[in-house]
């Protein structure tokens, strides 16, 4: 018997020819699976969700107990077009059957097509690409490329950033994952995180003075540097750090500071790229062209696919200096075909414009929710990428981690998954990033569930 979901959101079984494809697993015992999880699966820095997920389709995931949950975080911020998009499924099936994986020195039509499509969509100066598996891997490659090109080794990152867990990517992030493993990569330096909600850098009127903060940060960098500054790596929206958007003008100023020092600017668009924020890429929002761009997450719609894109000149010099980042799955045809199809769909279906329109509704509704509940200290983000920060008091801005968890748990019970960044350095922020294919009705449905969760949770301070 094959599983399906009935109108009451419970698992039922049907004959195989009636299977609607929502679940791959039925007749499972959640308690047994939880016991096996504890016995056999290593922890890697997080607690597992208590429910085992047995199916995903469109904007929803389904648990072993039959609970249907609207996925407001696109998996790990990756399923840009939703789970099980039919054209993506067909692309995977076709390439799994006929062109899946090759020797790393071989090239194939989907890789060439993805490179052509991607580079033609990007500004001049982002001319050539190669394709890897994860965001951390692409940032590792980008940092190594910057070191090879400049002949220098110091890398500047921003506080509260997240770039991956491999050696150089981890060295450039500063709020989590650095402890207990001995010395990190040498030459890693930090700028203050551009946190407009909490920064101590303020003008006389109380507004955020990011220019003074950046100037202070670079003075500290210059004092620490041994004279070998190679690159600065930055996210346009620091998602894992609490959905902090770079202030207008910040990215352009950062590029100028890099140019003064003979450094490259690397922009990590793991989460912001491919339409998520209402522009095709977040760099388009202020027309800043980095020296190296990295993509991941959204490009593969949930499959492991990342990209490193740079200029023909940087590529030329790196080739001369024997740059090497040769991996087992570099330029694999199957994920490349998926990435090519993702870009085709996003452009063809005007999903950038749709993301911008749905993003306006999302932020309008979240700010309306802020007007109703005193525990919401800040709403921020851009496009279909939003953060809602939960605080004990708006004056002190003290994070309310336990309250945030209670709201999130209630929303999950009601049928909505909105990830709460609960690490103390995140400040207790709901990270909302649904698939950009979401309809207005689906978006409003999820927001109604979120508001109901606030209404049902003690301590949210109705206004």
pLDDT band at 423 (very low <50, low <70, confident <90, very high): low
How confident is the model at residue 425, as a pLDDT?
A: 61
**Residue 389 is among the residues annotated as catalytic for this protein:** no
The mean pLDDT value for 109-137 works out to: 97
Q: Look up 431 and say whether it is catalytic.
A: yes
162 catalytic per annotation: yes
Please state the domain extents for the chain.
2-84+351-456, 88-348
SS3 content of the chain, % helix, strand, coil (to 5): 40, 20, 40
One CATH from 3.40.309.10, 2.30.110.10, 3.90.1150.10, 3.40.50.1820 for 2-84+351-456:
3.90.1150.10
Please choose, from the candidates 409, 457, 452, the residue with its C-alpha nearest in 3D space to the C-alpha of residue 430: 409
417 is a catalytic site residue: no
Q: At what angle do helices 210-224 and 250-260 cross, to 10 degrees?
A: 30
> Which residue is listed with tokens 């700010």?
367
**What's the chain's Rg over C-alpha atoms?**
22
| Residue that the structure tokens 């999130």 belong to | 408
Q: Is position 271 annotated as part of the catalytic site?
A: yes
> What pLDDT is recorded for position 166?
86
Answer yes or no: is pLDDT of 17 > 60. no
DSSP code at position 193: P
Candidates 297, 356, 370, 382; catalytic one: 297
**2-84+351-456 and 88-348 have identical folds:** no
Tokens 């506080």, residue? 159
Q: Which residue has the tokens 């150089």?
A: 168
CA-to-CA separations, 13 to 3, 53, 66, 155, 267, in angstroms, rounded: 4, 17, 11, 55, 48
C-alpha span between 378 and 395 (Å, rounded): 12
Burial of 452 from C-beta contacts in 10 A (0-12 / 13-18 / 19+): middle
Average pLDDT for 106-125: 97
Which band of pLDDT confidence, cut at 50, 70 and 90, is reported for residue 5? very low
Q: Residue 270 corresponds to which tokens in the numbers above?
A: 């793991």
Distance CA 263, CA 271 (A): 24
Give the active site residue among 235, 378, 389, 392. 235
The mean pLDDT of the chain is: 91
In this prediction, residues 218-247 reach a mean pLDDT of: 95
**Each residue of 64-104: pLDDT tens digit?**
888 899 999 999 999 999 999 999 999 999 999 999 999 99
Can you read off the two tokens belonging to residue 135?
């965001």
Residue among 172, 169, 247, 243 at smallest CA distance from 203: 247
- What does the DSSP 8-state code read for residue 270? T
The phi-psi region of residue 273 (left if phi > 0; otherwise alpha if psi is between -120 and 50; otherwise beta) is beta
User: Which runs of E-coded beta strand occur in 192-263?
Assistant: 229-234, 237-238, 244-245
Q: What is the pLDDT of residue 217?
A: 97
- Please indicate whether residue 393 is annotated as part of the active site: no
CATH of 88-348, one of 3.40.640.10, 3.30.300.20, 3.10.310.30, 3.40.50.2300: 3.40.640.10
For 414-433, b/e burial (b = at least 16 CB within 10 A) is ebbbbbbbbbeebbbbbbbb
Question: Above pLDDT 90, what percent of the chain?
Answer: 78
Q: Given 173, 238, 271, 365, which residue is catalytic?
A: 271
272 or 19, which is more confident: 272
pLDDT value of position 422: 61
Q: What angle do CA 434, 440, 446 make, to 5 degrees?
A: 55
Query: What do you get for the CA distance between the two ends of the chain, in Å?
Result: 51
């Amino acid at each position: 018997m094959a599983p399906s979901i009935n109108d009451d959101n419970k698992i039922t079984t049907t004959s195989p020819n009636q299977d609607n494809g929502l679940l791959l697993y039925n007749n499972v015992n959640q308690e047994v699976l939880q016991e096996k999880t504890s016995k056999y699966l290593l922890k890697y820095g997080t607690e597992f969700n208590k429910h085992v997920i047995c199916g995903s389709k469109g904007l929803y995931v389904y648990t072993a107990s039959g609970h249907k949950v609207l996925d407001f975080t696109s998996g790990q911020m990756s399923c840009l077009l939703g789970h099980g998009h039919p054209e993506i499924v067909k692309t995977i099936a076709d390439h799994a059957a006929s062109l899946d994986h090759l020797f790393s020195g071989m090239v194939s039509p989907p890789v060439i097509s993805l490179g052509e499509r991607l580079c033609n969509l990007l500004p001049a100066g982002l001319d050539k690409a190669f394709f890897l598996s994860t965001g951390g891997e692409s940032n590792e490659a980008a940092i190594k490329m910057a070191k090879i090109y400049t002949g220098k080794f110091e890398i500047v990152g921003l506080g509260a950033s997240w770039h991956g867990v491999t050696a150089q990517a981890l060295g450039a992030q500063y709020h989590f994952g650095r402890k207990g493993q001995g010395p990190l990569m040498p030459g890693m330096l930090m700028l203050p995180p551009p946190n407009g909600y909490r920064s101590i850098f303020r003008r006389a009127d109380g507004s955020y003075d990011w220019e003074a903060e950046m100037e202070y940060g670079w003075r500290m960098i210059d004092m620490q540097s041994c004279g070998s500054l190679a690159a600065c790596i930055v996210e346009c929206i620091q998602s894992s750090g609490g959905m902090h958007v770079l202030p207008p003008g910040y990215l352009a100023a950062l590029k100028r500071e890099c140019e003064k020092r003979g450094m490259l600017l690397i922009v990590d668009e793991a989460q912001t790229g491919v339409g998520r924020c209402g522009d095709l890429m977040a760099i388009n929002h202020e027309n800043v062209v980095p020296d190296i761009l990295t993509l991941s997450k959204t490009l593969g719609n949930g499959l492991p696919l990342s990209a490193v894109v740079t200029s023909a000149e940087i590529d030329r010099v790196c080739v001369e200096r024997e740059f090497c980042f040769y991996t087992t799955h570099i330029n694999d045809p199957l994920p490349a075909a998926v990435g090519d199809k993702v870009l085709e769909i996003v452009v063809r279906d005007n999903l950038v414009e749709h993301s911008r329109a749905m993003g306006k509704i999302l932020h309008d509704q979240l700010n309306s929710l802020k007007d109703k509940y005193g525990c919401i200290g800040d709403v921020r983000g851009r496009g279909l990428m939003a953060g809602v920060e939960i605080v004990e008091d708006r004056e002190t801005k003290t994070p309310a981690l336990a309250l945030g968890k209670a709201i999130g748990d209630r929303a999950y019970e009601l049928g909505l998954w909105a990830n709460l960044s609960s690490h103390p350095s995140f400040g207790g922020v709901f990270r909302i990033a649904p698939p950009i294919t979401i309809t207005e009705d689906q978006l409003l449905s999820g927001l109604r569930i979120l508001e109901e969760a606030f209404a049902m949770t003690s301590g949210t301070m109705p206004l």
